[in-house]
Amino acid sequence: MDFSIEEQAMIRILQAAYAVIALGLSAAALAQGYPVKPVKVIVPVPAGGYYDAVARIVSQKLGERLAQAFVIENRVGAGSLTGTAYVATMPGDGYTLLVNGTGGMSIFPSLYGSAKMPYDTLRDFAPVALLSGVPNIVVVPASLEVKSIADLVALAKARPGELPYASNGNGTTQHLAAETFAVATGTKFTHIPFNGSAPAVTSLLGGQTKLHFGVATDVIQQIRAGKLRALAVATEKRMSVLPEVPTLAEAGVPGIEIEIWCGMFAPRATPPDVVARLNAETNRVLQMADVRERIAPGGIGDTKSGSPEQFAQFIRTELVKWAKAVKDSGAKVE
């Protein structure tokens, strides 16, 4: 049967409409049945640190709620670049997720520059959910004869460039916070980057390094045990778990407030319905009392919530904030 030009055009329009409807129905069906097999959760830093702990807590609960295993894989290398870049290349089917945060997603782009970055935070990932946040604490070995920020500044000025500070790696909040602190106080330290928080804290306990802007959950037990001394907290207000420790502003160094955040991401092509389901289930998990206590024990930090769109806006704000911090501090990759 021959069709007129007008009829052929109408057929093409109807075919396109049916395709769009079918695509929408298949995406909705995918989300409703998701997941039908185990989900791999990439943590691009070593086991034992903050991101890893949060990822394991949330993944366990998601697995229970969705009746499929959410399997953690620590894919480390080049800070967190290797594991993060790996997720960016994965199919957008919801079966490979990423848990990463401040350094890899909002600091690295400015520190390394687009020419050296193997991924683009905004282009290559679909933000799923903001999981948690925790402040940094300025700590030194208990054996160091430094009792306050004023003492630390005096010692650093007397020995410029001689005091080594530990970070969890190039481009982490510990790195940027220490460099910002040095600029603000007119001091100079030597940066010793480690691959994660555990070796960084170990170096501090062993006396190989003398200063660390530690993630609160990574150093609180050593502070309580008297092995590390907290000089200040990088927060607007004092922490309820360390009420005797002043803020950096109270100690004479205003303008340095550092919170390390942790979030869940999917490859950019992941269907919005799958992202929405993951977001809804993750937010439910984050409201569970036992999860809140495990992620933020005794009120050390907090769990978050919100939509994927709110998380995306948060990331855009963080990228601008840390670009300024990198520029102002003059921080460089070692």
- Domain extent at residue 266: 31-133+261-329
Residue 222 has pLDDT above 70, yes or no: yes
How does pLDDT run across 255-302, given as a tens digit for each residue? Answer: 898 888 999 999 999 999 999 999 999 999 999 999 999 998 877 888
**Cα–Cα distance measured from residue 274 to residue 33, given in angstroms and rounded to the nearest whole number:** 10
How does pLDDT run across 15-68, given as a tens digit for each residue? Answer: 554 444 544 444 454 567 899 999 999 999 989 888 999 999 999 999 999 999
CATH of the domain at 186: 3.40.190.10
CATH of the domain at 304: 3.40.190.150
Integer Rg of the chain from CA: 23
Residue 9 is predicted with a pLDDT of 54
175 and 323 co-located in one domain: no
The total number of structural domains in the chain stands at 2
**Cα–Cα distance measured from residue 273 to residue 128, given in angstroms and rounded to the nearest whole number:** 11
35 and 128 co-located in one domain: yes
- Residue 313: inside a domain, yes or no? yes
How does pLDDT run across 292-315, given as a tens digit for each residue? Answer: 999 988 778 889 989 999 999 999
285 and 141 co-located in one domain: no
208 and 190 co-located in one domain: yes
pTM for the full model? Answer: 0.78
**Cα–Cα distance measured from residue 111 to residue 323, given in angstroms and rounded to the nearest whole number:** 8
Give the Cα-Cα-Cα angle 138, 139, 143 (nearest 5 degrees). Answer: 155
How does pLDDT run across 105-132, given as a tens digit for each residue? Answer: 999 999 998 889 999 999 999 999 999 9
- Residue 24: inside a domain, yes or no? no
Dihedral sign, Cα of residue 97, residue 102, residue 103, residue 108: positive
302 and 158 co-located in one domain: no
Residue 51's closest CA among 76, 78, 69?
76
72 and 90 co-located in one domain: yes
- Residue 193: inside a domain, yes or no? yes
- Residue 53: inside a domain, yes or no? yes
